[in-house]
Amino acid sequence: MSKGIFVLGTKQNVGKTYISTLMFKKLFNMGLKVAYYKPVAMGVSYNNDIVCSKEISSVYNFCNIEANISDFFTYGYENNIQPYIASVVENKKINIDKIKQDFNYLCKHFDYIIVEGFSEILVPCSIEEDIMPIDIIKELDLGVVFISSCDEESVLNDTSLNISYLLSNNVDLKGIIFNRFNKESFVDIDNKKAIEMVTGIATLTTIGNNEIFFNILGNKLKSMFSDVILDDINLDEEDIEESNSRNRFDTNFDLNSDCTLG
């Protein structure tokens, strides 16, 4: 049975992709088949048959893996703006069932799936379709790892409010990872303690600036992932045609290759 985790953060640029990459690296070096997936990717460029996503590429390049980028996102928007705006501008409506089908397909080929959120938790994915990020988390039925960046002045307030919202929606919150954490800073140390006190959620680990190792034991990392139950999904003809054209990824990654900065 495959396992998955959803990575969220207080806002953009808090280090969701960075932490996802370190998690990916750890699992990959344990000899596991692991995939990094973004339901919605922003800033995607299309040049004939070549698809480029800086975020997705960075994760696989970190482990020197050649991956077909388009296999690891469902909706790719060229405009690097909020998805509820991009979906209208580029006329690509978001369909949760399509996301679930692509996620299920990945689960049939990989042991562990890291799903990264693409926006703040209270920013709509689609106003027309009335879709919020919480809807996708619940549809995929995954637990959440929450990323908090210690270099933000409002880290206590932002983290506490986000976690309160997630808990009120009965999300399985696995814990908090503090990014850009300075172990010598009493401010970072006290903010961490305050957030734990206010939210009641434990810290999984802290990550300093420019760290390239994920300092969580392998078994603990694996235990953070939720079992995935695959469901049959009914899509319309347009979504089925798109799925068939993209479900072709190569899962024969070299498991003997060390993850290094690529």
Among candidates 193, 152, 220, 188, which has minimal Cα distance to 10? 152
Q: Report residue 229: phi and psi, to 5°.
A: -100, 120
Is 252 inside any structural domain? no
Is 209 inside any structural domain? yes
Whether the pLDDT of residue 251 is over 70: the answer is no
Give the number of other CB atoms < 10 A from CB of residue 70.
21
Domain extent, residue 220, equals 3-245
CB-based contact 10:120 (threshold 8 Å): yes
- Please write the tens of the pLDDT for every residue from 128-185: 889 999 999 999 999 999 999 998 889 999 999 999 999 999 999 999 999 999 999 9
Count: domains in the chain: 1
Whether the pLDDT of residue 243 is over 70: the answer is no
Is 13 inside any structural domain? yes
What is residue 236's predicted lDDT score, i.e. its pLDDT? 53
- Please write the tens of the pLDDT for every residue from 2-52: 899 999 998 888 999 999 999 999 999 999 999 999 999 998 888 877 788
Among candidates 43, 31, 33, which has minimal Cα distance to 73? 43
Is 155 inside any structural domain? yes
- Please write the tens of the pLDDT for every residue from 43-91: 888 887 778 888 898 999 888 888 888 899 999 999 888 889 999 999 9
Is 220 inside any structural domain? yes
Q: Give the CATH number of the domain where residue 48 resides.
A: 3.40.50.300
Q: Which pTM was predicted?
A: 0.86
What is residue 256's predicted lDDT score, i.e. its pLDDT? 37
Is 226 inside any structural domain? yes
Radius of gyration of the chain (CA): 18
Among candidates 7, 4, 60, which has minimal Cα distance to 251? 60
d(CA 68, CA 64): 13
CB-based contact 110:37 (threshold 8 Å): no
Q: Is 193 exposed, middle or buried (0-12, 13-18, 19+ CB in 10 A)?
A: exposed
| 138 is an active site residue | no
Is 110 inside any structural domain? yes
d(CA 213, CA 173): 23
Is 50 inside any structural domain? yes
Q: Which residue has the tokens 């694996």?
A: 222
Active-site choice (26, 38, 98, 192): 38
